[in-house]
């Protein structure tokens, strides 16, 4: 079982879009996939038509195999299951930071539950916190969407610095460009500069800014299911291929 996180310390950059489309792509590639929606806003649960769980009252469920397993829901697609978001994830950070061996808790929980899956995809909320440290430790690879602008470049560099300072393996970081617009000089310039400065940490993928991705909210399904022959779907396919290669 491999763990793939979709993470950025910035919000609104395309983490959820990547989690949903890559989870679907991996499943189409024959993998059994569990998508954990760790963001209490529940966007990836929404895209897969799975309701957030209201029954769960505290985050302890996550560390109890039987309760975690019971919280998992099927999606419209075989071999693609969802752990829907729930309100206890609002306090997941505080909860994790109070636990013993707090940095490896997530990894332990996922290893126990994840045996029935080939890949567990984590759709993460945006911040650097106990939860993120758990995610960094647990993950085999971390997909980081980068909108090619100055601020996003800075955020990406902050993430790399965090890995340096905490002695974390930077090779897990797989940056890719998100919402890229070839008509914008700033985007093109930032992509070139970042490839020169951070080439090793970047996949050669740019998901274009595309209405098809926004329409996922209308269709409540991955892009490939309703716009499979179009550029955004092709970009997510490329992302999936790179991820599969990296996960081995
Ligand atoms: N490639 C894209 N093109 C156009 N809109 C996008 C693209 N990726 C994401 N979006 C839109 O941007 C918003 C934020 O995307 P989302 O994936 O939810 O980001 P995050 O999970 O990082 O907060 C959503 O409204 C989504 O529809
Ligand atoms: Mg999100």
The alpha carbon of 20 and the centre of ligand 2 are apart by a number of angstroms equal to 10
Distances (CA, A) of 64 to 85, 120, 218: 17, 17, 35
**Ligand closest to CA 232:** 1
Using most ligand atoms within 8 A of CB, pick from 159, 177, 206, 213 the residue to mutate for ligand 1: 213
* Contact assessment for residue 7 and residue 15, using Cβ atoms and an 8 Å cutoff: yes
Confidence of residue 123 (pLDDT cuts 50, 70, 90): very high
The token duo for 198 is: 């951070």
Question: CATH number, domain at 125?
Answer: 3.40.50.300
Q: Provide mean pLDDT across the span 196-207.
A: 96
Q: How far is the CA of 124 from the centre of ligand 2 (A)?
A: 7
Q: What is the dihedral of CA 21, 71, 4, 188, to 10 degrees?
A: 40
Segment 175-192 mean pLDDT: 97
172 falls in which pLDDT band (50, 70, 90)? very high
For the chain, the residue count is 248
Q: What pLDDT shows up at residue 50?
A: 96
Ramachandran area for residue 14 (φ above 0: left; ψ -120 to 50: alpha; else beta): left
What is the best residue among 15, 187, 214 to mutate for testing ligand 1's pocket, by most ligand atoms within 8 Å of CB?
A: 214
Question: Ligand 1 pocket by C-beta < 6 Å: which residues?
Answer: 11-17, 43, 178-179, 207, 209-210, 213-214, 232
pLDDT tens digits, one per residue of 236-247: 999 999 999 999
Domains contained in the chain, number: 1
The pLDDT value given to residue 140:
97
The pLDDT tens digits of the residues spanning 89-114 come to 888 888 888 888 878 889 999 998 88
- Name the more confident of 204 and 105: 204
Ligand 1: residue of 17, 48, 127 to mutate (most ligand atoms within 8 A of CB) is 17
Tokens linked to 239: 């992302």
pLDDT over 90 percentage in the chain: 79
- 8 Å CB contact between 208 and 181: yes
Q: How far is the CA of 200 from the centre of ligand 2 (A)?
A: 25
Burial track 155-193 (b if 16+ CB lie within 10 A, e otherwise): bbeebbebbeeeebeeebbbbbbbbbeeeeeebeebbee
Domain hosting residue 84, numbered range:
2-247
Q: Do residues 241 and 233 make contact, with C-beta atoms less than 8 angstroms apart?
A: no
User: What local confidence, expressed as pLDDT, does residue 98 receive?
Assistant: 85
For residue 128, pLDDT over 90 is answered with no
Q: Which residues contact 177 (CB under 8 A, 6 or more apart)?
A: 145, 146, 147, 148, 191, 202, 205, 206, 207
């Amino acid at each position: 079982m491999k763990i793939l996180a979709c993470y950025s310390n910035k919000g609104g950059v395309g983490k959820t879009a990547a989690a949903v489309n890559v989870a679907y792509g991996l499943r189409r590639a024959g993998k059994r996939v569990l998508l954990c929606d760790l963001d209490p806003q529940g966007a990836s649960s929404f895209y897969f038509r799975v309701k957030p769980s209201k029954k769960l009252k505290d985050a302890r469920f996550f560390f109890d195999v039987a309760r975690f397993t019971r919280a998992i829901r099927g999606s419209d697609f075989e071999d693609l299951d969802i752990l829907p978001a729930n309100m206890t994830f609002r306090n997941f950070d505080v909860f994790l930071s109070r636990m013993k061996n707090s940095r490896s808790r997530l990894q332990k929980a996922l290893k126990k539950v994840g045996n029935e899956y080939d890949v567990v995809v984590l759709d993460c909320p945006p911040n650097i916190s106990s939860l993120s440290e758990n995610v960094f430790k647990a993950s085999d690879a971390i997909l980081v969407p980068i909108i090619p602008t100055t601020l996003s470049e800075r955020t990406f560099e902050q993430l790399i610095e965090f890995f340096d300072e905490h002695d974390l393996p930077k090779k897990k970081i797989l940056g890719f460009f998100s919402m890229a617009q070839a008509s914008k000089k700033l985007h093109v310039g930032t992509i070139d500069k970042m490839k020169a400065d951070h080439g090793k940490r970047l996949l050669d993928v740019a998901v274009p800014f595309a209405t098809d991705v926004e329409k996922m909210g209308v269709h409540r399904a991955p892009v490939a299911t309703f716009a499979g022959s179009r550029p955004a779907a092709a970009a997510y396919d490329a992302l999936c291929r790179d991820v599969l290669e990296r996960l081995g």
